Amino acid sequence: MDANTLALMAQGFGNALEPMNLLMMVIGVTIGVVVGCMPGLSAAMGVALLLPLTFGMKPETGMIMLGGIYCGAIFGGSICAILIHTPGTPASAATAIDGYELTKKGRAGKALGTACIASFFGGLLSCISLYFFAPMLAQLAMKFGSPEYFWLALFGLTIIAGVTTGSMVKGLMSGAFGLILSTIGMDPMEGTERFMFGVDELYNGINVTCALIGLFSMSQVFILMEKAIKERGSIVKFHDSVLLKFHELKQIGPTVIRSWLIGNIIGILPGAGASIACFLGYNTAKQFSKKKEEFGNGSIEGIAGSEAANNAVTGGSLIPTLTLGIPGESVTAVLMGGLIIQGLQPGPELFTKYAPMTYTFFAGFVIVQFCMLLIGLGGCRIFAHIAKLSDAILIPCIFVLCVVGSFAINNSFVDVVIMFLFGVAGYLMRKMGLNTAAVVLALILGPIGERGLRRSLSLSGNDVSILFSTPICWILITLCVLSAFSPLLMDWMKKARKQ
């Protein structure tokens, strides 16, 4: 790193620490956490809604505030996921698996503290990558073509077995259900309608956010209603500290590092996003854990794996956005739009002509992580009151958030109906022991895999050898095989040890 870059970094931190920039960071993170807490209000929606407010600001100040909303919303989604089994964003779907189990055991504070600390370190480490490895990592992402995206999606689907507790067959059934649903809408290659049944609102397929709200949130309403009838609402109370002990920090440390690497790489790949990274981080944490039996029953490693990965995506997704003008995910697409509106074109000029502004934003993004840590840990006691609400208050509140959140996506009642149908399906699946997270994962990955496969075959004249044509393909194939058979291998080794 040359002296000029170091000088730009120092200047960037000096500019980022100006009072107005610090104020915008705090406001941005706070708004982001609130947005993340509300089911259906994604980080992209929060950034897009407040984008007009930045037009009168300096470009770097506006970008810092939007970056704060981005990071705050990704973390904020974990709060409802942990407290009421209602992921505020798709990126927190995996967090709900173990987070809510800890809440039911009266350890909501521990779960929230783990999520906040893992989010902080995941985001902070991704900022370091943004500073030092942007050119190298951007080149890696550029090497991904259609065949690589097909294998990436398939690799993601193989982890369904890892995120499923209990019967692997039930997990695969859930995944197959999600894949079938992912085919609804317009054919990505031919433009013909598929399984729309005359409903024009399904032209772009099933909205993942609606499915997420229904499967996790509305189904939870039905569960709580049943519980209120049978048990008259025994409420889980919040007793423990949000601060982790040294041995707990030591326990999640390796998981955070692994999930940071996963989230950073996933963030660089356009279209992958935090919703995939959280499951990959969770599954990897489970594979390397010495306490696998805790996963699905309340594991802080599971929470750390999910949250570190999804927050590591934030810095990673900015790398192709700022260096190449290729958004890593929907939020960075909105951020890129904000840059263009300000007259700034993403690309090499941001690191030459507009380098001071760019490095001010980088420095602000680092400081945003500390704001998120302080607001997250300091506000955990306030957020935890959600878990203390009686069922009589909690049920209508979640119901209203589900309806408003799903309607706000496209201002369409069709989305509300879809959400409700997924709620019924999620309730029935949970009663039958089927995995709702597997449905969401398959719903997200299905279109990515289909586009990758069909584009590959179209380019090669239906020659399947194109799927095995690059070293990256073979690396992903190896990962697919290892991921698919590792649960079986682990079970076999466990039985062998007992014998």
Tens of pLDDT, residues 351-383: 778 888 888 999 999 999 999 999 988 887 776
Report how far residue 282's alpha carbon sits from residue 448's, in angstroms, rounded to the nearest whole number: 21
Range of weakest confidence among 153-157, 163-167, 276-280, 434-438: 163-167
Confidence band of 487 (pLDDT split at 50, 70, 90) = low
- Summarised one tens digit per residue, pLDDT across range 335-354 is 877 787 777 777 777 877 88
What is the average pLDDT across 296-316? Answer: 90
Beta strands in 131-222 (DSSP E): 185-186, 193-194
Over residues 384-433, the pLDDT tens digits come to 565 455 667 768 877 887 888 778 767 888 889 988 999 999 899 888 88
- DSSP character for 340? H
Which two structure tokens, joined as six digits, stand for 47? Answer: 């950034």
Element (H, E) at 418: helix 413-432
Of 80-89, 205-214, 225-234, 364-373, which one has max mean pLDDT? 364-373
Number of structural domains the chain divides into = 1
Mean pLDDT, residues 8-35: 90
Rounded Cα–Cα distance for residues 285 and 305 (Å): 5
* C-alpha closest to that of 138 among 295, 308, 315, 291: 315
Instruction: Determine how β-strand 185-186 pairs with β-strand 193-194.
Output: antiparallel
Does residue 324 carry a pLDDT above 50? Answer: yes
Higher local confidence (pLDDT), 438 or 475: 475
Task: Note the pLDDT of residue 224.
Answer: 76
* Cα–Cα dist 335/266, whole Å: 18
User: Greater confidence, 462 or 327?
Assistant: 462
Please give the DSSP secondary-structure letter assigned to residue 193.
E
Give residue 232's pLDDT band: very low, low, confident or very high (50, 70, 90): very low
The pLDDT of 224-232, averaged and rounded, is 61
The most confident of the ranges 69-78, 126-135, 222-231 is 69-78
Q: Is the pTM of this model over 0.85?
A: no
For residue 382, what pLDDT is reported? 74
The pLDDT value recorded for residue 437 is 73
Cα separation, 361 vs 63, in Å, equals 7
Count CB neighbours of 183 within 10 A. Answer: 15
DSSP 236: P
DSSP labels, 61-91: HHHHHHHHHHHHHHHHHHHHHHHHS--SSGG
- Both tokens of 374, joined, read 């302080």
**468-485: b or e for each residue (b if 16 or more CB lie within 10 Å)?**
eebebbeebeebbeebbe
Whether 107 and 240 have beta carbons less than 8 Å apart is answered as yes
Nearest to 156 by CA among 247, 93, 238: 93
CA–CA distance, 118 with 121 (Å, rounded to integer): 5
pLDDT of residue 138: 47
Dist. CA 365–CA 345, nearest whole Å: 19
Q: Between the CA of residue 233 and those of 216, 226, 236, 257, 391, what are the distances in Å?
A: 19, 9, 9, 39, 6
For 198-214, write each residue's pLDDT tens digit.
Answer: 787 788 788 777 887 78
Query: What's the pLDDT score for residue 374?
Result: 93
Q: Are 181 and 211 in contact (CB under 8 A)?
A: yes
- Average pLDDT score, the chain: 81
| Average pLDDT rounded to a whole number, residues 113-124 | 93
Helix (H), strand (E) counts: the chain:
22, 2
What would you measure as the largest C-alpha separation in the chain, in angstroms? 70
pLDDT of residue 312: 92
- More reliable by pLDDT, 289 or 239: 289
pLDDT of amino acid 343: 75
Q: Is the pLDDT of residue 102 over 50?
A: yes
- Check residue 390 and give its pLDDT: 63
For 339, the domain range is: 3-498
Instruction: Please tell me the predicted confidence (pLDDT) of residue 210.
Output: 81
Of 144-148, 160-164, 231-235, 333-337, the range with the lowest mean pLDDT is 231-235
φ, ψ of residue 262 to 5 degrees: the values are -65, -50
| pLDDT in the model for residue 235 | 41
Question: Is residue 163 very low, low, confident or very high in pLDDT (cuts 50, 70, 90)?
Answer: low
Looking at residue 308, its pLDDT comes to 93
| DSSP single-letter state for residue 17 | T
pLDDT of residue 136: 65
Q: Are 404 and 40 in contact (CB under 8 A)?
A: yes
DSSP structural state of residue 106: T
State mean pLDDT over 434-458.
84
pLDDT tens readout for residues 25-78: 999 999 888 888 776 566 776 777 777 777 778 888 989 999 999 999 889 888
Looking up tokens 């521990």, which residue turns up? Answer: 110
Residue 23 has pLDDT above 60, yes or no: yes
pLDDT band at 306 (very low <50, low <70, confident <90, very high): very high
* Closest to 317 measured CA to CA, from 297, 334, 342, 304: 334
